[in-house]
Amino acid sequence: MLRRRFGAVSAAAFVALATAAGPASAAAVGSVQGGLAHAQISSPAIGEHAEALVAEMTTVEQAASVVMGHIPTTDAGALRAYMQQGLGGFILMGANIPATDDELQTLTSALTVDPALPPLVAVDQEGGIVSRLVGDGFPASTVLKSQPVSDTSSAFSARAALVARAGITVNFGTVADLTSDPSSFIYGRALGTDPQTAAERVAAATTAQEQIIASTLKHFPGHGAAPGDSHSAVPATAETIDEWRSTDAVPFVAGIEAGASLLMFGHLAYTSIDPAPASLSARWHEIAREQLGFDGVIVTDDLGMLQSSGIPEYADPVTNAVSAVVAGSDLVLMIAGSTPDTAGQIVRGLADAVDAGVLPADRLADAATRVMTLRLQSTSATTDWAPCPECEPAD
């Protein structure tokens, strides 16, 4: 995986040019990236440091560190108080985005209680259909799927810079689902209509973003094969594992090989493999880890969506969170229906599950270590950006 850190001056210049370029100038923004040189500095000690930090935590602290919460407000004080629970992350939705860039940067700064260990701050910035941030006029999936792959690289470089400028470290922005059906819920957000074209653009989007922020592939194992909207149902497909490997898996494999930091599991049931939603399926987590070789952070899609399905066994977000971590997820995401109390309830539920023997202590520690590693990587000086003397400046 590629890790990143902006130098303050070069990052500001990069983003200023990106945001000024506008939708017609994504290629020019790509040339801005070409005018910067970066040197990747490996830091294997980060993982050891993360493991040591987690070992010193109580069970409750470990549980809090694997929860990515949300409350719908732009009140910086309220957000800071919320994050004092020790949560590992926060996701910004539309209701968190203030009117100006300065206000947004103040808000994201308020999410950090301990400057030595900032939380993961995430956003769904796909561009186009799903956009939270103002100023993203860069090409999105609706047009990128029919344009050269280089256009995807340029667009996502610019998009990542916009995200980073706001103080956001994680983008849930790469849709690795594929479908050729225009009536599909996910068609407009997918980067390709067949395995190969989707894989090429997913890899390009991943490589571009990972220079700057932590990128995410979603919605594993693939929404295209499962008709319906997972915001209000658990879409299902009878696709077999062999069929999946030759179709829906291909873009995810490409994104993993390109170095994606996170893999988001969808609430999708591939019934021939496991009748449970992938987000709660130990089998699908095993496939991701052992067959696809993904070693980053596995995050659930919004657990509130499971509640919204109306299926009785998924009515309790605490139970859903415990089931997800037991299955192999590292970070549980809760948005829909979340109140200021919901994250704390999930934290207590995870800790109680460890005490009851339902959630193995080493599984929670493993999840906490993966999340902690990504938090440390996101703040470490593993990539320095500096002017590239031999490169031509952007026009």
Strand pairing report for 36-40 and 383-387: antiparallel
Please state, for a pLDDT cut of 70, what percent of the chain lies above it.
Answer: 85
Q: What is the pLDDT of residue 308?
A: 83
Per-residue pLDDT tens for 318-365? 999 999 999 999 999 999 989 999 999 999 999 999 999 999 999 999
Q: What is the mean pLDDT of residues 66-82?
A: 97
Which residues are marked as active site? 231, 301
Per-residue pLDDT tens for 203-217? 999 999 999 999 999
SS3 270: strand
CB distance 203 to 257 below 8 Å? yes
Grade residue 44 by pLDDT with cuts at 50, 70 and 90: confident
| Least trusted range by pLDDT, from 2-6, 70-74, 148-152 | 2-6
Q: Does the structure show a pLDDT above 50 at 19?
A: no
State how far the alpha carbon of 345 is from the alpha carbons of 64, 157, 283, 320, 329, in Å: 10, 38, 27, 12, 18
Q: What is the mean pLDDT of residues 153-162?
A: 97
SS3 215: strand
Grade residue 10 by pLDDT with cuts at 50, 70 and 90: very low
State how far the alpha carbon of 318 is from the alpha carbons of 192, 338, 352, in Å: 35, 11, 11
Q: Does the structure show a pLDDT above 80 at 40?
A: no
Strand ordering across the sheet containing 214-220: 297-300, 262-265, 214-220, 170-175, 120-123, 89-92, 67-69, 332-333
Per-residue pLDDT tens for 214-272? 999 999 999 988 877 778 778 999 999 999 999 999 999 999 999 999 999 999 999 99
